Amino acid sequence: MGRLSTLFAPERVAVIGATDSEGSVGRAITSNLLESFDGDVVAVNPYKDDVLGLRCYDEVADVEGEGIDVAVVVVPPDVAVEAIRDAGAAGIGNVVVITAGFGETGSEGAARERDLREAAEEYDLNLVGPNSLGVMSTPRGLNATFGNEMATEGDISFMSQSGAFVTAVLDWAAERDVGFKDIVSLGNKAILDEDDFIAEWGDDPETEVILGYLEDINDGEAFVQTAREVTQETPIVLVKSGRTDAGASAAASHTGAMAGSERAYEAGLEQAGTLRVESVQELFDFAQILSGQPLPDGEEIAIVTNAGGPGVMTTDAVGDSDLSLSSFEDETLDALRETMPEEANIYNPVDIIGDAPAERFEAALSTVLEDDNVAMAVVVACPTAVLSFEELAEVVVSQQRAHETPIATTLMGGKSVGAGRDILSEAGIPNYFDPARAVESLDALREYDEIQSREYEEPAAFDVDRERAREILESAARRDTNRLGVEAMELLDAYGIPTPAGGVVSSPTEAEELAEDIGDDVVMKIVSPDILHKSDIGGVEVGVPPEEVRDTYEDLVVRARNYQRDAAILGVQVQEMVDLDSGTETILGMNRDPQFGPLLLFGLGGIFVEVLEDNTVRVAPVSESDARGMLDDIESAPLLRGARGRDPVDEDALVEAVQRLSQLVTDFPAIVELDINPLVATPDGVQAVDLRLTIDQEEL
Ligand code: ADP
Ligand code: MG
C-alpha cells in the first residue's frame, strides 16, 4: 500500500468548518460524508454546538478518542492556513483543502498559498488542493466532496485538475455503469500532484486503470519517471487541455519557434508511456476496454458482421488505425466455407449476411478466433428479425472467454440493444454504436501492449569536456550577452559534436592567414549578436577563393552596418567548406519547456527549415533508441537513407550527435534554447556548420 492509502481509506474524518447552513459547501461535505462513509465523521467549528446531528468541537485538538486520518478543510481562506497548522499539530497526516482563494486568485492568494505550502511541509502533510472539490473512494463509501453524486464502485481511479469536470464525469458515468475506485480533485496542486497519485494508484491492486484530466504538469521530469514505471503494470489515460504556448512567440531560434509547449506535452506524455486522448468519450472508452479486456497478441483484427455497409465502415476505421486486417489461414477459410452460406464473404471482413442468427455468429467467431493471425475481433451487427441481440451477446461473451482474445462489439441500434449491452458490459466487453470507436478502443489496447513491452534504456554518458563548455558559457556571460553564435562553436567541440575547421577573426589580414591554413576555398560569415539570420542580410559567403578573402571581409562588415548601423560586430568567421552535394542539411536544436525541461528537435534543416517544418521532438535526456526514433519519425527519413541513388548518410553519427546535444543541454540548464542549423549529414559523418544559442545567466 502506498503513502496515501489512509487518505482514501480512513477510519475517521474530521470536517474543519462543518456547518448546517443551507446551500453551504461545509454542509454539503458533512452530509455527503454522513450519507455513505462507513467510518467515523467528526465536526469541527467553534461557532456551532452541533451540526446535522453531530456534536461539534471547537478545535481538532479537543477531539477525544482514536486519531483522525483525514481533515477536510472548508473554512474561509483567511483562517485556512491556521486550520491546516492545527490539523498538523493534532497529528493528522492527510488534509483535503476545499477552501478556494489561493494561487488561482492573484497576488494575495499566491502569498497565502506559499504560507499553506510552508505549513504543509512543516508537518509533512499529504495535502490535496487547495481549491479542490474533494476526494472519493468507493470501497469505504468515502465521499469527502461537495458534489451531488457518489461514484459507484469500480476499478478506475481518476484525478482531475478541474473540480467541475469531476462532477460532470460522475453524472455522465452514473448513466453508463462506469465505476470508480478513487477520485481526487487536484485543485491547485500545492503539495500533492499528478505524480503522487499516479505512484499511489500504481501500487494499488484495486486500481486497474488510471485516468486523468490535466491542465498542466507540475514537474515533467518526475512525471515521466513515475509514469514509465507505473504504466508497466497499470495503464494511464490522460486528457490534457489548456494549451499554453507562452514563450513560443518570443523565441529567438527556429527550435524555439517550432518546439512549443504543446509539442513538449505530446512528446513528454508519449515518452512517459501514457495514452493521450482528446475527449471524455475516449477517456472512458479506453478505460473500459483496458479494464475489461486482455491485451492482444498482435495488431491483426478480424471483423465479423451481418451487414455489408457497417462492415466497410469498420474496415475503413481499421485503415485509419495502427491495426491491420487479419488475413486468414487456409484452415480458417476452409472451415468458413463449410459452415457459412454460399453468399457469405469468408474473407476478412467476414460478412455472414443479413439472415444470420446468433448461431451463425457463433460458428464464424469460433472459427476466426482459432486463427493465429487474429489477435482481436470486432463484431458488428445490425438488428434483424432473425437475430436476438441478447443471444448474440451471450455468444460473444462465451467466445471471448473461451479464446481469451480481446473483442469489442458494435450492436447498431437503440432500444433493441439494451439487454445485449448489459450482458456484454457485465463481461467487460465494450459495445459501441459507432464501429470507429470499437476499432479505436481495440487500437488503444494494442498501444498499451506496445507500451508495456518497452524497455527504457539509460541515456549514454559520453566522455566530454564539461569544464571547457562551462568556461565558454561563462565568458559569454562576462561579455554581458545572452545570445551566442558561431563564436561559441567550441562549445560543440567540447561535447564531441564535429565542426568544420575555422575560427573567428577580427581583421582582413587575420582572415587571410586563417584561410591559408585551411588551404582551400572557404566560407565566411559575419559574427554579431545583433544578426540572428546571417544569410538574410548577405552575411554568409560560400566558396570564397583565397584571393578574395580580404575583400569579402570588408564586404561582410559593410553589409552588417547597412543592416544595422550600431550592430555589435565580433568579427568574421572563416570556415572550412563542407560538401553539401553529398550531404543533407538537418537541424538539431533544443528549446527549454517550463514543465518538461529540455525538448530536443531534429529535422530537415537549412534555410527553408520553417517552411518545410519536417521535424520531431523528444524530451531530453534521450537514449540511443530515442535518438534513432527521431530519425525514423521525420518524413524525409528516406532522403537521409539514400533515396534516388544517393549514398545514405552516416546514421550512427547523426544519432550520436543527437545524444551528445542531449547531454550538453542536460548538463547546462543555463542553455535556454539552441539551434545547430544546419547540421550537415554526409555519408562520412556529420558537421555542425552553424550555431546559435540563448543563455540564462542566472542559471550559470
Ligand atoms: P544563417 O543560418 O545565419 O544564415 P549559416 O551559417 O547557417 O547562417 O549559413 C547559411 C547557409 O550557408 C547554410 O544553410 C549552408 O547552406 C551554407 N553554409 C554555411 N556554412 C557552410 C559551410 N561551412 N560549408 C558549406 N555550406 C555552408
Ligand atoms: Mg543557419
Q: Is the pLDDT of residue 698 over 70?
A: yes
How many other C-beta atoms are found inside a 10 Å radius of the C-beta of residue 404? 10
Q: Read out DSSP for 179-190?
A: -EEEEEE-TT-S
Whether residue 585 has its Cβ less than 6 Å from ligand 1: yes
> Which CATH code of 3.40.50.720, 3.40.1010.10, 3.90.1150.10, 3.40.470.10 fits the domain covering 5-242?
3.40.50.720
Q: Is the pLDDT of residue 668 over 90?
A: yes
| Range list of β-strands (E), 63-141 | 70-73, 94-97, 126-128, 134-137
Q: Do domains 5-242 and 293-452 have the same CATH topology?
A: yes
Secondary structure class of 8 (helix, strand, coil): helix
Whether residue 540 has its Cβ less than 6 Å from ligand 1: yes
Q: Which ligand is nearest to the CA of 582?
A: 1
> What is the CA(501)–ligand 1 centre distance, in A?
14
How many other C-beta atoms are found inside a 10 Å radius of the C-beta of residue 632? 10
Spell out which residues have Cβ within 5 A of ligand 2, the ion.
Answer: 677, 690
Q: Is the pLDDT of residue 108 over 80?
A: yes
Confirm if 144 and 33 have CB atoms less than 8 A apart: yes
Among 518, 523, 610, the mutation site with the greatest number of ligand 1 atoms within 8 A of its Cβ is 523
Range 661-669 average pLDDT = 97
Residue ranges covered by each domain of the chain:
5-242, 293-452, 466-576, 580-699
Distance, in Å, from the CA atom of 359 to the CA atom of 398, rounded to the nearest integer, reads: 12
Confirm if 170 and 151 have CB atoms less than 8 A apart: yes
Cell numbers that stand for 419 in this block: 439487454
> What is the CA(565)–ligand 1 centre distance, in A?
24
Residues 6+ apart with CB under 8 A from 204: 1, 2, 5, 157, 181, 182
The architecture in CATH of the region 580-699 reads 2-Layer Sandwich (3.30)
Whether residue 525 has its Cβ less than 6 Å from ligand 1: yes
Range 368-374 average pLDDT = 98
Distance, in Å, from the CA atom of 105 to the CA atom of 558, rounded to the nearest integer, reads: 54
Whether residue 689 has its Cβ less than 6 Å from ligand 1: yes
Ligand 1 atom nearest to 536, measured from its CA: 4
Q: Is the pLDDT of residue 246 over 60?
A: no
Ligand 1 atom nearest to 522, measured from its CA: 23
Spatial CA neighbour of 444 closest among 631, 636, 286, 323: 286
Q: Is the dihedral of CA 602, 605, 607, 611 positive or negative?
A: negative
Q: How many helices (H) and strands (E) does the chain have?
A: 24, 30
pLDDT for 279: 86
> What is the CA(475)–ligand 1 centre distance, in A?
25
Top CATH class of 466-576 equals alpha beta
Parallel/antiparallel/unpaired status of strands 275-277 and 236-240: parallel
Range 209-234 average pLDDT = 93
Please, which pLDDT band fits residue 254 given cuts at 50, 70 and 90? confident
Range 473-501 average pLDDT = 91
Spatial CA neighbour of 263 closest among 591, 586, 585: 591
pLDDT for 176: 79
Please, which pLDDT band fits residue 242 given cuts at 50, 70 and 90? low
Q: Is the pLDDT of residue 697 over 70?
A: yes
Ligand 1 atom nearest to 577, measured from its CA: 24
pLDDT for 477: 77
Residue nearest to atom 23 of ligand 1 (CA): 577
pLDDT digits (tens, 9 = 90+) for 170-220: 988 888 778 999 999 999 999 999 999 999 999 999 999 999 999 888 899
> What is the CA(689)–ligand 1 centre distance, in A?
6
CATH of domain 293-452: 3.40.50.261
Confirm if 92 and 70 have CB atoms less than 8 A apart: yes
pLDDT for 248: 44
Q: Is the pLDDT of residue 278 over 90?
A: no
What's phi and psi for 636, nearest 5 deg? Answer: -85, 10
3-state secondary structure 467-536: HHHHHHHHHHHHCCCCEECHHHCHHHHHCCCCCCCEEEECCHHHHHHHHHHHCCCEEEEEECCCCCCHHH
Ligand 1 atom nearest to 534, measured from its CA: 3
Cell numbers that stand for 141 in this block: 463509501
Ligand 1 atom nearest to 539, measured from its CA: 4
pLDDT digits (tens, 9 = 90+) for 133-165: 999 999 999 999 999 899 999 999 999 999 998
Q: Is the pLDDT of residue 250 over 70?
A: no
> What is the CA(540)–ligand 1 centre distance, in A?
7
| 258-267, 401-410, 625-634: least confident range | 258-267
Ligand 1 atom nearest to 677, measured from its CA: 7
> What is the CA(656)–ligand 1 centre distance, in A?
22
Among 255, 607, 611, 682, the mutation site with the greatest number of ligand 1 atoms within 8 A of its Cβ is 607
pLDDT for 376: 98
Q: Is the pLDDT of residue 259 over 80?
A: no
Whether residue 534 has its Cβ less than 6 Å from ligand 1: yes
Distance, in Å, from the CA atom of 187 to the CA atom of 132, rounded to the nearest integer, reads: 4
Ligand 1 atom nearest to 535, measured from its CA: 4
| 327-331, 418-422, 600-604: least confident range | 418-422
Q: Is the pLDDT of residue 247 over 50?
A: no
Whether residue 580 has its Cβ less than 6 Å from ligand 1: yes
Q: Is the pLDDT of residue 1 over 70?
A: no
Among 528, 535, 537, the mutation site with the greatest number of ligand 1 atoms within 8 A of its Cβ is 535
Range 11-34 average pLDDT = 96
> What is the CA(668)–ligand 2 centre distance, in A?
22
pLDDT for 344: 96
Q: Is the pLDDT of residue 260 over 90?
A: no
DSSP β-bridge partners for residue 544: 522
pLDDT for 430: 95
Whether residue 532 has its Cβ less than 6 Å from ligand 1: no
Range 632-641 average pLDDT = 92
pLDDT digits (tens, 9 = 90+) for 284-315: 999 999 999 999 999 999 999 999 999 999 99
Whether residue 436 has its Cβ less than 6 Å from ligand 1: no
CA 663 to chain centre: 22
Q: Is the pLDDT of residue 129 over 50?
A: yes
pLDDT for 609: 81
Please, which pLDDT band fits residue 251 given cuts at 50, 70 and 90? low
Distance, in Å, from the CA atom of 184 to the CA atom of 161, rounded to the nearest integer, reads: 9
Residue nearest to atom 14 of ligand 1 (CA): 606
Ligand 1 atom nearest to 486, measured from its CA: 6
Distance, in Å, from the CA atom of 135 to the CA atom of 4, rounded to the nearest integer, reads: 12
pLDDT for 87: 96
What's phi and psi for 437, nearest 5 deg? Answer: -65, -40
